[in-house]
Amino acid sequence: MRLSRSFIPTMKETPAEAQITSHRLMLRAGMVRQTSAGIYAWLPLGLRVLKNIERLVREEQDAAGAQEVLMPTIQPAELWKESGRYEDYGKEMLRIKDRHDRDMLYGPTNEEMITDLFRQSVKSYRELPQILYHIQWKFRDEVRPRFGVMRGREFLMKDAYSFDIDHAGAVQSYRKMMLAYMRTFQRIGLKAIPMEADTGPIGGDLSHEFIILAPTGESQVYYDATFEEMDYLSAGAGGFSHESAEDLERFFKAMTTQYAATDEKHDATKWAMIDAPRKREGRGIEVGHIFYFGTKYTKSMGVRIAGADGKPVHPEMGSYGIGVSRLVGAVIEASHDEAGIIWPDSIAPFKAVILNLKRGDAACDALCEALYAKFAGTALYDDREDRAGVKFADADLMGHPWQVVVGPRGAAAGRVELKRRATGERVELTPDEALARIG
C-alpha cells in the first residue's frame, strides 16, 4: 500500500477522550475511530492487525480440532428464556424488537444458540466430541465502556463450545482448548498466564482466565516465572500435542500447579513460599476466559442424546472465549515505547515500511519502487511528499517491525538503511540483503 493513497489518518496530537496508551496510539496511528461510547470503526491499518490476530486464533482453533461456524449477531429471545438467562443477564444485554414486535437481542455470547444448533442435529454419543467456534461481533451494553477497544460495548470475540458425552471427555476438551490458547498467545507475541477464575453468570465449576502483563492492567496479578519459560509451540520432547491425552494431562498439570492468581484469589502464604527471583507480579489484562459448566445448558434446554447403552444423556459442555478486538489494544499495552507502537512480527499490519526520504530523487524513487514491488503487498510504502522527520515519526508511531530507509546518499551507492523498530538497531545494507533480513 502506498501511504500517499491510503486511508491512514495519523495524528500528531491525541484526542482528549483517549486516556490510556493503547487507545491514544490507536487513534494517533489511524487504526480506529470512535463512533459512540465503546463502539469503534476499524480503519485499514487497524483492520489488518485485527485480521492477523483473527487468523492466528483461527489456525490454532483448527489445529486443536475445533470447527468454525458463523452464528448471527441477532438472536431470538426465546432461546434465552428457555435457558433462564433472559432475565438473569440484566441490562448488559441489548434487547430489541423486530417489526412484528418479537423480542430479539444482540448476542452478548452464544451458549444458547450453539446448544440449540447442537440439539437439532446431534442424536448419539457416537457423534461426540464436538468443538464448534465462531469469530463474531458481540454486544454487551457495559455501564461504563472505557480504555478504547479493550473495554468496548461492541467487540470481536472468538467463542468456542465443546460437547462431550461425559465429564472425562469434557475435561479433555477443556485441556485441549487451554493448550490452543497458550499456543495462540505465544504466537501473537504475548506472555499469557492462565489463572483460576470465578465462573460468573456463565456458571460451572472449572474456569481459567488468561492474563497478560501490562502496566495499565485492570487487576493485580501474581505468578511463578515458570509460565514465561515454557514453549507451547515446540513439538518435540517437552512439547505438547493436542492429540495425546498424556501430553494434555502433563500440560494441564504444569498450568495448574505453578502459582498464578489475581488479587481476588491471591494467597499470601503460598506466595511467600516461592523463591523471590521466580516471583512475577504486576497489572494484568484478561484476554481470554474458558469455562467448564457441565450440563447447565443441556439440562435447561432439554438436550439429550443416546449414550452407549442407548439411554438418554445430557452432554457436558464448556465454552472458551478470546477477546480478539481487545487483543489489539492489549498487545499495544504490552508493546510500545515513547514513539509509538511496536508490533510483534506475527500480527503487524505490514512487515515493513519503505521510507522514501526524498521523493523526486531519481535514485530514491527507483530504488523504492523496486523494493515495493518485491514486497508484493506486504510492505507499506511511504511515498508522501513530506519531510524525513514526518516519515520517521509516523513509521515509529505505526510500529512496523522493520523500516527500510531510502535516502539520496545511500540510494546513489545502492544501499539502504534497515531499522528494527523493537530495538532501534540500524544497519546499512544492499536492498537485497535488507529483503533477506526481513524475510
Partner RNA sequence: CGGGGCGUGGCGCAGCCUGGUUAGCGCGCGUGUUUUGGGUACACGAGGCCGCCGGUUCGAAUCCGGCCGCCCCGACCA
Q: Which residue, 141 or 166, has its beta carbon nearer to RNA?
A: 141
**Phi and psi angles of residue 351, each rounded to the nearest 5 degrees, phi first:** -60, -40
Please report how close the Cβ of residue 155 comes to RNA at its closest, in angstroms. 3
Q: Is 10 in the site for RNA (CB under 7 A)?
A: yes
**According to CB under 7 A, which one of 289, 296, 351, 400 is a site residue for RNA?**
289
Output 78 or 432, the one with its CB closest to RNA: 432
* Phi, psi of 13, rounded to the nearest 5 degrees: -110, 155
CB 325 → RNA: shortest distance, Å? 6
**287 near RNA, judged by CB under 7 A:** yes
Q: Which is nearer to RNA, 16 or 70 (CB)?
A: 16
Judged by CB under 7 A, the residue of 15, 72, 215, 377 near RNA is: 15
Q: CB of residue 105 vs RNA: minimum separation in angstroms?
A: 16
Q: Least distance from C-beta 308 to RNA, angstroms?
A: 34
Segment 412-431, which members bind RNA (CB under 7 A)? 417, 419, 426
Task: Kindly tell me the burial class for residue 170, based on how many C-beta atoms sit within 10 Å of its own C-beta (0-12, 13-18, 19 or more).
Answer: buried
Whether 45 and 24 have beta carbons less than 8 Å apart is answered as no
Q: Which is nearer to RNA, 145 or 318 (CB)?
A: 145
Burial class, 73, CB count within 10 angstroms (exposed 0-12 / middle 13-18 / buried 19+):
middle
Site for RNA (CB under 7 A): which residue of 71, 306, 363, 390? 390
Q: Taking CB under 7 A as the rule, does residue 410 contact RNA?
A: yes
CA angle 346, 349, 351 (to 5 degrees): 65
Residues 170-229 that bind RNA (CB under 7 A): 200-202, 209, 218
Q: Per CB under 7 A, does 26 bind RNA?
A: no
279 lines the binding site for RNA (CB under 7 A) = no
Is residue 116 within the footprint of RNA (CB under 7 A)? Answer: no
Tell me the closest approach of the beta carbon of residue 315 to RNA, in angstroms.
Answer: 22
**Rule CB under 7 A: is residue 366 a binding residue for RNA?**
no
154-164 vs 316-323, strand pairing mode = antiparallel
In the numeric block, the cell 450440563 is attached to 295
**Position among 164, 224, 286, 382 found at the interface with RNA (CB under 7 A):** 286
- Our CB check for RNA shows the closer of 305 and 397 to be 397
Rank residues 100 and 144 by Cβ distance to RNA and give the closer one. Answer: 144
Binding segment for RNA (CB under 7 A), chosen from 74-82, 234-242, 252-260, 401-409, is 401-409
Number of C-beta neighbours around residue 311 at 10 A: 8
Beta carbon of residue 129, minimum distance to RNA (angstroms, whole number)? 23
Among the listed residues 179, 357, 368, 379, the single contact to RNA using CB under 7 A: 357
**Of the two residues 294 and 329, which places its CB atom closer to RNA in the complex?**
329
Cα separation of 89 and 109, whole Å? Answer: 11
Helix-helix angle 431-438:362-375, to 10 degrees? 30
Can you tell me which of 81, 257, 387, 427 binds RNA, judged by CB under 7 A? 387
Sequence-distant (6+) residues with CB within 8 A of 245 are: 172
Q: Measured between alpha carbons, how far is 180 from 29 in angstroms, rounded to an integer? A: 31
Among 7, 12, 275, 276, binds RNA (CB under 7 A): 12
The count of chain residues that interact with RNA, using the rule CB under 7 A, is 65
Minimum separation from the CB atom of position 154 to RNA (A):
8
Sort 155 into a burial class: Cβ within 10 Å, 0-12 / 13-18 / 19+: buried
Among 22, 325, 335, 356, binds RNA (CB under 7 A): 325
Partners of 438 in beta bridges? none
For residues 167 and 182, give the distance between their C-alpha atoms in angstroms, rounded to a whole number.
23
CA distance 372 to 382: 10
Question: Interface mask (CB under 7 A) for RNA, residues 132-161, using x and -?
Answer: --------x-xxxxxx--xxxx-x-x----
d(CA 183, CA 60): 7
369, 358, 353: which is closest to 404 by C-alpha? 353
Let me know: does 433 contact 388? Beta carbons within 8 Å: no
Binding site for RNA (CB under 7 A): 10-17, 19-20, 23, 34, 36-38, 140, 142-147, 150-153, 155, 157, 200-202, 209, 218, 286-289, 321-323, 325-326, 339, 357-358, 386-390, 392-397, 405-410, 417, 419, 426
